Amino acid sequence: MDKSIQNVQKQIAPFIHRTPVFTSSSLDEMIGCELYFKCENFQRMGAFKFRGAMHALLNLSEKEKLKGVITHSSGNFAQALSLAAKLLGIPAYIVMPENAPKVKIEAVKGYGGIITFCPASNKAREEFTLGLVAEKGLRFIHPSNDYNVILGQGTVAFELIEDVKELDYIVAPVGGGGLIAGTILASEPVDIKVVGAEPIVVNDAYRSLLSGQIEYHTNDFTIADGLRTHLGDVNFPIIKKGIDCIICVEESEIVSAMKLIWERMNIIVEPSSAVALAAVIKEKDKFKNHRVGIILSGGNVDLTKLPF
């Protein structure tokens, strides 16, 4: 049964942090608009994905909870599902690409997730996951193409809209599409335009909008490692119907935005988060004199590998 995102937020509220909204007068002046940063880097396990994972697990049957759950993820959803499952006493199996950041691998282990490593490709992730589902009878929770996950992710924008009145735009990173789809669902009732931000080297979502069908990419490297995945058949129709546009940014622009956030706001965000600010800077004429929400999706960074 479909739920309003307001009801979803109430359901998961006992488990999540209601994250703060930060501003920066220097960034406002630099870009020429009013920016409001929803800081999901302060969420439990360091990223917005905990919201969707918790909502999905809370809506499982008792039989599904007993057998356990599985997902595939380069890191943030792996951590999210592991932590949510630990809090609810549910076994969690995680398929991770062998090139996943060490900091995220260690965090998954710390939350009790049972890791299986696979080659770094979307095809390998899915094949390894299906094998474990068949072997152990696990319930698969997709990181971004599960409707309960999408609704959970939509609570980020819901809270931002409650806290900051009269926004004109919300800008969010696009990887697998769960966050941007949830943002669209939360924004539709109040007529806020939603803009996606994507690395140009893995711009499958941008190309999907152009072609009208889900596109894929063969490039497995971007500094924004959380955005390597592609859209799915659940979130793509929501995105196609409701998004204003997707702005593609270069790797160097992502690094510059990440550095700016550190210098001007005194917080560390992961490259996937910085993509959203990079997009606003790149197309600042579009946002000039508007009130713009930016979703900082997470802050799980390997400090030994900072790109600046």
Query: What radius of gyration do the chain's Cα atoms show?
Result: 18
Exactly one of 74, 144, 272, 273 is catalytic; which is it? 74
Q: Spot the catalytic one: 49, 73, 187, 273.
A: 49
Strand partners, 246: 196
Nearest residue to 6 (alpha-carbon basis) of 155, 166, 170: 155
Indicate if 49 belongs to the active site.
yes
Handedness of CA 73, 93, 148, 210 (dihedral sign): positive
Answer for the pair 180, 172: CB distance below 8 angstroms, yes or no.
yes
Residue 245, CB-side half-sphere exposure with 13 Å CA sphere: 8
74 labelled catalytic: yes
Burial class (CB in 10 A: 0-12, 13-18, 19+), 88: middle
CA–CA gap between residue 138 and residue 292 (Å, rounded): 41
Residues with active-site annotation = 49, 74
